[in-house]
């Protein structure tokens, strides 16, 4: 039959969602030239462009929009059918879950160990994802994200609770006498947490990419880090860090769990309920 291949349609869907061949290349682990060839094969088959230039990226043409609107539901059905067959053959229920990297390492890994003891038949593939909800891979079943606004139809897990911490060697100094370390992805985090304008005398320290980097920078005496309580809780208990402030919730900022699959399985539905209950009753107590 003269129809596009599944692989070519996956490439088109990824490029259309991300608006960039480069980003789709990273997500699909294919070269940009390989993705271009796949999309070109669709255009040759249809005898019309399916992508058009848009700013610095690309977007779907009218033909591309119609094609994906028609075939994406069918692809979801195929994916779901293949998964059910694999699960029956292996006796295991597979669920793909993505979280922010630090959340996954600190909170989800211990929960997955508990899950295995309760439901050995449920196998969770844990992935890292930071980005917009509408750009998350469609193949995911569940997605946990930090959000300033609640996503539609999402489970609320817990509010973000931040605490300013530093090395014990710096603990005798007040907050604004020290260098305030920064997180690249959240430049307004200090101001949001203080709920006010920072004083002009603030001494800004270095900027770091991720919370674990901030954590270790604070341990090393490089300044004061503002960290989620679940990230620094253990270090405070062991004396590696001292808290300069009481933990404080940032109103409206929290972690949410969303169902991503267009055809969720009973297993992923059960796991979403289980994760939400476990975090609220267990780890959320640390974060609050």
> What CATH number is associated with residue 19?
1.10.10.10
* Residue that finishes a domain, picked among 69, 85, 101: 85
* Number of domains the chain contains: 3
> What CATH number is associated with residue 177?
3.40.190.10
* Residue that finishes a domain, picked among 50, 65, 85: 85
Could you tell me which residue, 62 or 54, shows the higher pLDDT? 62
Expressed as residue numbers, the domain containing 104 is 92-158+253-287
Judge if pTM exceeds 0.95.
no
Chain segment 223-272, per-residue pLDDT in tens:
999 999 999 999 999 999 999 988 888 777 889 998 876 666 788 889 99
Whether 1 maps to a domain, the answer reads no
Whether 185 maps to a domain, the answer reads yes
Chain segment 177-212, per-residue pLDDT in tens:
889 999 998 888 888 887 766 677 788 899 999 999
Same structural domain, 66 and 104: no
* Predicted local confidence at residue 283, as pLDDT: 56
- Tell me the three state secondary structure of residue 16: helix
Q: What is the CA 225 to chain-centroid distance, rounded?
A: 22
Q: What is the CA 175 to chain-centroid distance, rounded?
A: 31
Rounded to an integer, what distance in angstroms lies between the CA atom of residue 128 and that of residue 237?
Answer: 27
Cβ neighbours of 66 (radius 10 Å): 13
Whether 67 maps to a domain, the answer reads yes
Same structural domain, 97 and 130: yes
Rounded to an integer, what distance in angstroms lies between the CA atom of residue 44 and that of residue 129?
Answer: 34
The arithmetic mean of pLDDT across residues 133-154, rounded, is 76
Q: How far apart are the first and last CA of the chain?
A: 58
* Predicted local confidence at residue 131, as pLDDT: 66
Tokens of 121: 């038949």
Confidence of residue 71 (pLDDT cuts 50, 70, 90): confident
Same structural domain, 279 and 207: no
Same structural domain, 13 and 71: yes
């Amino acid at each position: 039959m003269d129809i596009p291949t599944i692989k070519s349609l996956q490439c088109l869907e990824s490029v259309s969602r991300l608006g960039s061949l480069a980003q789709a290349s990273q997500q699909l682990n294919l070269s940009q030239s390989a993705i271009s060839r796949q999309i070109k094969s669709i255009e040759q088959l249809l005898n019309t462009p399916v992508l058009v230039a848009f700013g610095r990226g690309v977007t779907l043409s009218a033909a591309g929009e119609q094609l994906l609107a028609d075939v994406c539901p069918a692809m979801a059905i195929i994916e779901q059918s293949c998964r059910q067959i694999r699960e029956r053959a292996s006796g295991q229920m597979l669920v793909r879950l993505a979280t922010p990297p630090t959340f996954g390492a600190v909170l989800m890994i211990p929960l997955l160990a508990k899950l295995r003891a309760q439901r050995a038949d449920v196998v969770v593939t844990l992935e890292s994802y930071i980005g917009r909800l509408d750009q998350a891979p469609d193949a995911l079943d569940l997605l946990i994200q930090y959000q300033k606004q609640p996503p539609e139809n999402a489970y609320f897990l817990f509010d973000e609770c931040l605490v300013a911490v530093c090395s014990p060697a710096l603990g005798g100094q007040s907050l604004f006498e020290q260098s305030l370390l920064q997180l690249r992805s959240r430049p307004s985090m200090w101001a949001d947490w203080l709920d006010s304008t920072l004083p002009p005398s603030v001494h800004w320290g270095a900027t770091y990419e991720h919370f674990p980097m901030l954590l270790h920078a604070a341990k090393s005496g490089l300044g004061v880090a503002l960290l989620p309580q679940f990230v620094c809780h253990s270090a405070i208990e062991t004396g590696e860090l001292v808290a300069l402030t009481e933990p404080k919730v940032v109103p409206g900022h929290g972690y949410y769990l969303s169902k991503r699959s267009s055809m969720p399985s009973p297993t992923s539905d059960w796991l979403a309920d289980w994760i939400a209950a476990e975090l609220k009753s267990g780890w959320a107590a640390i974060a609050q």
